[in-house]
Amino acid sequence: MHKVRVRVVEDALDANNTIARANREDFDRSDVTVVNLMSAPGAGKTALLERVLADTGDVRVAVLEGDVEGSLDAQRLASLHVPVVQINTSGGFGGECHLDANMVRSALPSLPLGDIDLLIVENVGNLVCPAEFRVGEDVRAMVCSVAEGEDKPLKYPLMFRACELAVVNKIDLLPHVDVELEQLLYNLQVVHPGMEHLLTSARTGDGVEALRDWLVSRVKDRVAA
Amino acid sequence: MHKVRVRVVEDALDANNTIARANREDFDRSDVTVVNLMSAPGAGKTALLERVLADTGDVRVAVLEGDVEGSLDAQRLASLHVPVVQINTSGGFGGECHLDANMVRSALPSLPLGDIDLLIVENVGNLVCPAEFRVGEDVRAMVCSVAEGEDKPLKYPLMFRACELAVVNKIDLLPHVDVELEQLLYNLQVVHPGMEHLLTSARTGDGVEALRDWLVSRVKDRVAA
């Protein structure tokens, strides 16, 4: 049985990559830079985006929200007057734990691709499967909360290897948790040598400007390339 | 393609349930109560178990550790002189985000079933898929950290509905996070009316005794039944 399952999964990933390439072509045609943003549940992706999207200067942003159910995060972001499209993964497949290229493709007609420069795809909260499914993005970034402990890179290495940037969030909690930031950053480098990181707190605003700069630079780099 | 995928998943869940029943029969034969313990990454399952397993009286416990990679948690628990068996889900299938019945079945020969009363299965950190795969357990419990925010029951309802107990952990962080405990408990009841919960802090030890009592009661209830 195991071999059959492996083949089914490989087929599914092949099919996913084909659709991801089609998404990528659509994004390229509209000159849209796409960031796939991932994390464990409750690491603070939406809270960071609320801060970051309050002012992105002349870079026009939209968000694609992935959730198993509901639209709580989309509602939070829509109040910033940013175009937000919600994808729920609960339909049809018993609750998907990740976004795939086809789900993103189905949302494309609802996105104002011609009027934006940057699309942020906020993935389902999960440190495993989202890293395996490309959606047509330019870059991948992940948020980890210091409250999750310093061992997460070692336990979920694929996610940390798949991303260009680790946003280490909730640093305001460092005095209140038994977590060594240095050890967390060391573990990051063990699983992904040279990986870039930023230290942030969505609560205090620390590091939010650096994250905004990083996101905006993805757009400028792309235009310059 | 979607219909094919749904059928494949239904077949996989059927096959899983068949193996889960075989596990259940093996556990019954040895009079072992099994708790499937789930959570998001970094919610504190292992830290709670370190506290709880330090003294379980005359109830003999073993732990089955599920991780994508590594054996960090198993090493932590083994120092308590509790039998611990590690399952890594990274082999063969590109990194599974959950334990399934077959993985647990493959670990059974390594478990001293005849010498224990309670088996705790510490699942892979993930709030979606582990709730869909029975492994032959008697009961399911989940840990959520207050640092994850009060909206998690609404965003991952299947997990909260699948479990009999929600362990609300890291309550020592409540003064330092913008999370209303009352709202979190209200959301719990919205998705799973009547769901039992415990408030704990693995850091301070608050609520650990209540969790230990709850686990030990599963064994006594089973023996009495």
| ipTM of model | 0.91
CA nearest to A113, candidates A203, A202, A224, A30 = A30
Which chain A residues are Cβ-neighbours of B97 within 8 angstroms? Answer: 97, 126, 128-129
Which chain A residues are Cβ-neighbours of B170 within 8 angstroms? Answer: 147
One-letter amino acid at B11 equals D
> Region B60-80: what's the mean pLDDT?
93
- Residue A151 near residue A187 (C-beta atoms within 8 A): yes
User: B112: domain CATH number?
Assistant: 3.40.50.300
Q: How confident is the model at residue B1 (pLDDT cuts 50, 70, 90)?
A: very low
Q: Strands, DSSP E only, in B102-177?
A: 118-122, 139-145, 165-169
Give A30 to chain B, closest Cα distance, Å.
28
- Domain of residue B42 covers 2-224
Neighbouring C-beta atoms of residue B170, cutoff 10 Å: 29
Say what the pLDDT of residue A167 is: 98
CA nearest to A120, candidates A45, A195, A55 = A45
Total domains in the fold of chain B:
1
Q: How confident is the model at residue B6 (pLDDT cuts 50, 70, 90)?
A: low
> Region A71-90: what's the mean pLDDT?
92
Say what the pLDDT of residue A45 is: 97
- Angle between helix B208-224 and B45-52 (nearest 10): 70
Which chain B residues are Cβ-neighbours of A1 within 8 angstroms? Answer: 15
CA distances from B81 to A97, A103, B62 (A): 35, 47, 10
Residue found under tokens 């972001």: A77
Judged by phi (left if over 0) then psi (alpha if -120 to 50, else beta), residue A29 lies in alpha
* Contacts A–B by Cβ distance under 8 A: 130
Nearest to A72 among B8, B94, B154 (CB): B154
Q: Which of A14, A156, A190 best tests the B interface by mutation, with the highest count of B CBs <10 A? A: A156
- Residue A177 near residue A147 (C-beta atoms within 8 A): yes
Q: Which of B156, B158, B203 best tests the A interface by mutation, with the highest count of A CBs <10 A? A: B156
Nearest CA in chain B to A157: B69
Nearest to B95 among A125, A128, A173 (CB): A128
Q: How many CA atoms lie within 13 A of A159 on its CB side?
A: 29
Would you give the DSSP letter of residue A113?
Answer: G
Sheet holding A84-88, edge to edge: A84-88, A61-67, A118-122, A33-39, A139-145, A165-169, A196-199
Say what the pLDDT of residue B120 is: 98
Say what the pLDDT of residue A1 is: 40
Nearest to B170 among A67, A124, A147 (CB): A147
Nearest to A155 among B70, B147, B177 (CB): B70
